[in-house]
Structure 1
Amino acid sequence: MTTTGRHRGRIALVTGGSRGIGRAISRRLAAQGALVAVHYGHDHAAAERTVKEIEADGGRAFAVHAELGVVGDAATLWTAFDRELAARDAPPGLDILVNNAGITLPRTIEQVTEDDYDRVFAVNTKAPFFITQQALVRLRDGGRIVNVSSGATRIAYPAIVAYSMTKAALDHLTLSLAQHLGPRGITVNTVAPGFTETEINPTLRDPQIRQALAGASVFNRLGAPADIADVVAFLAGDDARWITGQCIDATGGVHLGL
């Protein structure tokens, strides 16, 4: 990737930034000049690999570990973030927060247990809520918050009902925060991916499933992580200064018609 100056001098945090869509977002923001904190929950090797890829491309990044969905996860993340910034003599604070981390739950309502429900909400909804809450004292005026949701919030998809509910809650967080933080010049937006090809989606190894999901898009292909990363990078930049409280559909036109 060629480094550009769109985000030069800015500090970004991408949750779930070591793999899949998060990895693409981390790399894109770093390629545009940001110092990127690549958060990971479990896969240290993936985080280090993403940091090395960014550095090889001429960017700057560091890994931050915090398991999400457990008590104190937000505090753990921000303590690690502050410590890593200080270790690099970087100025304290934050310019861009991307709430990307999440887990799925491919079960219908009949199959979802209370433990399942609590877990998916803890990671997908509670964690970004409190991560954002604790980010506000660090986030500079004029900063950016981008929440990664899902196209499933506008489509009836019973097979992932609890997951879709977590993302719908995140969509409302975007709306309320945009109103709340507007006086500080902070924009808050959502990006909603559709069927996206990542290494952590095992169902895509089945040719029939791949074909069916690709066919749901008007472009007759699966999304690539870079398709989502480009939208996030735009919303995180100055060109999107007049956009806030919006959900940007980045599904490739999934299920636009009958």
Structure 2
Amino acid sequence: MKNKTNPIFFTLLIILYPFIWLYEQIGATLFWALILCCIIASFFYWQSKKSTNQPRSAQGENLNQPHINTDPDVFYASFNSECWHTINLPTAHPDTMRSANIHFMSHPLNQKHAECLRLIQIIRDSIDILNKTQNEDTAVSRMQVIQEMYDEVIAMSYLFKPKDFQRIEERFAELILPLHTIIYLNIAQGHVNKMESVKTDKTKLKYLLKAIESIEYGMNDYDANIEILQTMLDDLKAHPLYLKRIHTL
């Protein structure tokens, strides 16, 4: 009885023959180096393919991206709260404001909410600047910015519930009213500071008169606190240089 060739052995011989041939041609060192390179290349290929085929939701989870709540009530509560804190509190750090802007800009429920929040941020920032600046040009430009931005916010009042927008309006009025006095006091004080920094009486008098002019201009502002302005005006006009000028006229 003749011996039959084992089909499994025959198949393995066909598969392994190219490797055996290659081994004999290039030697053991290069052969095993080539095998190692093939294994590494295969590993990276399958990893890349696995990442490409991964669902977008899974990729988002891997990046630890926060889940965005699309509940309209939750979104509105978050938006209204951010707007209220923005107008109610001193200007936040720029990074904090930028983070809030990005959140609402990227939110699927955003219409003009991000734009409205940005306008309120600009208003609050301008209010804080007006409380400190002694520069007349800055004061004028910032008051103009507030007016323009606030007009746009009013046009977007439909984004709010009526009672919520009313609360923002009331807080805005509380913040704006004192500015009708503060800006004139600050500008006048700026001129006083310059007066005290110069040497000649002629230059000192020039800045003193500018300070007086600023206060007198403010006393024509219907919303200004006339009593406070009058007190500073009296102090300025009691300055020896002003009294000397009066006597020489």
- TM-score w.r.t. the length of structure 1 is 0.26
User: Larger relative contact order (C-alpha < 8 A, sep ≥ 6)?
Assistant: 1
Q: Which has the larger radius of gyration?
A: 2
Richer in strand (by share): 1
